[in-house]
Structure 1
Amino acid sequence: MPHVFPVKDLETDRLRLEVFNREKHIPLYWAALSTAPETNRYMPFLAIDSLEAAFAWYDRTFTNDTSGSRALWATYDLSSSSSAPVFAGVIGLLNSSAENLMTEIGFVTTFPSFQRTHVNTHACGLLLKYCLGDLKLRRVQWQAHADNGPSRRAAERLGFKFEGIARWQRVLPADREGHKRPGDEERPGRHSVVLAVCWDDWEEPGFQEALQAKMDRRA
């Protein structure tokens, strides 16, 4: 089902978000993930351990999504000295609601060579600009495993405001890190950090300029 909001390629001078194509991007995604499986340490789905599993995850999560609430982009670094864009990760939207004019940035995967660079800032910044600026949504949410400090800090650097901890929000697959409930040792649970940027944050004087300054920073 098409996403509830229009989905298109987005770009800055140093990064491009390309609407995800199953046949083109899954092999790139698996090739990168297979050498750095720890990148998906806190993802709330079964570990992806083969190309076939990567295709199955994509189909389960996106192809067969009947809600239209999820979308995915491939992230390409454009800053390399080579002429060709370099695949750097993926980023997406989930829990999107046209009725409530909200969405959530998720599926954020930036592979090791591109961590602590401009990639995550530009990818998230592009989605914030598109969702709050172009689409005029009221709320863009960010949720993360409560133990995933880097994810929370990344969101706060971009201007997301901490709203609280949703305790025992998710039941995780058995192979994922989480908290255990006595008698249910095979199904760990997740406490989730909830942050958001809302329309009034976006329109607050200086917010957009601060975000753009972070995207413009070269070091």
Structure 2
Amino acid sequence: MAERVNEYGQRIGEPMPQWQPAKAPGDQPMTGRYCRLERVDVDKHADDLYDAYSAAPDGRDWTYLSVGPFDTRAAYREFLSACAASPDPLHHTVIDLATNKAIGTLSLMRIDKPNGVIEVGFVVFSQRLQKTRMATEAIFLLMQRVFDELGYRRFEWKCDSLNAPSRKAAARFGFTFEGVFRQAVTYKGRNRDTAWFSIIDSEWPALRAGFAQWLDAANFDSQGVQRRSLQSCIEARRG
């Protein structure tokens, strides 16, 4: 692509004459093959979620979050009430279609409609959800909403730079690592250097096809073991 310069000989970015601001996320549920995402509802979801989180043997799933773990059902319900009332982050519950139980949450946040930038964050997956097809599908359903329905240009993932599982998940889901913002946040009485990842709209068609191939029932044998990894499905589409 030819380099663009202005009348002063300065390099400038590509023009965007057709760009329109992205849309605000709505309240419509997102339903896939294995799970459904719907807006957090305290009366519908709090008890299921608290039970799912309480099944963990310890509190390590909350180490890199700014809140939790919660010692009582009442304390978690109070937190979830604040989540339900928040327009940004916009919290969603992950529902297992097989049991109709709430087993985790995640959110759309830092919603920047004029620039078409949005972030997935506050991912709190119980151990009933972690490392399942539902966990992957939940992220995929959000991606579909962000790019296909709402018209965003950039989808971000951020985490504590020391959070190795989150960094591994971002790479698996096709996000590109962009760097570390040093001393970006303080939480729970400690420093956080923040690792940044992103997907941009030009990358989405290959990712969409890769996710669809991985999530297809034909990609799993009779024991539920994957035939091809998500990363290999994505890379084949990128190629």
- TM-score band, normalised by shorter chain: 0.7 to 0.9
- Say whether 1:74 aligns with 2:96: no
Residues 25-70 of structure 1: per-residue CA shift (max 9 Å, x gap): 122222222232332221122532222221332344452x4xx322
**Change in 2 beyond 3 A, CA 1:149/1:169:** same
CA contact (8 A) 2:42 2:84 kept: no
Does 1:7 pair with 2:27?
yes
Tell whether 2:151 aligns with 1:128. no
Q: Match for 2:45 among 9, 25, 40?
A: 25
Q: Structure 1 residue 18: deviation in Å?
A: 2.0
Counterpart in 2 of 1:137? Answer: 152
Residues 49 and 99 of structure 1: is their aligned pair in 2 closer, same or farther, counting only changes over 3 Å?
farther
| TM-score of the superposed pair, with normalisation by structure 2 | 0.74
Find the aligned partners of 1:52 and 1:99 in 2 and give their Cα distance.
Answer: 38
Answer 1 or 2: higher relative contact order, Cα 8 Å, separation at least 6.
1
User: How far does the alpha carbon of each residue in 1:131-184 deviate from its partner, in whole angstroms, 9 at most, with x for none?
Assistant: 0111111111101111111111111111111111111111102xxxxxxxxxxx
Q: Summarize the alignment of residues 94-113 of structure 1 with structure 2, pairs less than 5 Å apart.
A: 94-113=109-128
**Structure 1: stretches of 5+ with no match in the other structure:** 174-186
Moved >3 Å (runs of 4+): 59-62
Aligned to 1:200, which of 196, 199, 202? Answer: 202
Q: Where does residue 40 of structure 1 map in the other structure?
A: 62
Verify the 8 A CA contact 1:73 1:90 in the aligned structure 2.
Answer: yes
Task: Give the letter aligned to residue 69 of structure 1.
Answer: D
Report the counterpart of residue 118 of structure 1 in structure 2: 133
Task: Please give the alpha-carbon distance, in whole angstroms, between the structure 1 residues aligned to 2:186 and 2:154.
Answer: 25
Query: How large is the RMSD of aligned CA atoms in angstroms?
Result: 2.0
- Percent of aligned positions that are identical: 24
Partner Cα distance (1:12, 1:134) in 2: 15
Question: Which of residues 79, 83, 102 is equivalent to 1:57?
Answer: 79
The TM-score, its normalising length taken from structure 1, stands at: 0.81
| Contact 2:157-2:170 within 8 A present in 1 as well | yes
Please tell me whether Structure 1 or Structure 2 has the larger radius of gyration of its CA atoms: 2
Provide the rounded CA distance (Å) in 2 between the counterparts of 1:133 and 1:77: 24
Gaps spanning 5+ residues in structure 2: where? 1-22, 221-225, 227-239
Q: Is the 8 A contact 1:7 1:71 kept in 2?
A: no
Structure 1 residue 124: Cα displacement: 0.2
Q: After superposition, what is the alpha-carbon deviation per residue over 1:56-95, rounded to whole angstroms, capped at 9, x for unaligned?
A: 32344452x4xx32211111222x4xxx323321121111
Q: Which amino acid aligns with 1:53?
A: A
Would you say how many aligned residue pairs link Structure 1 and Structure 2?
Answer: 195
1:146-165 equivalences under 5 Å are 146-165=161-180
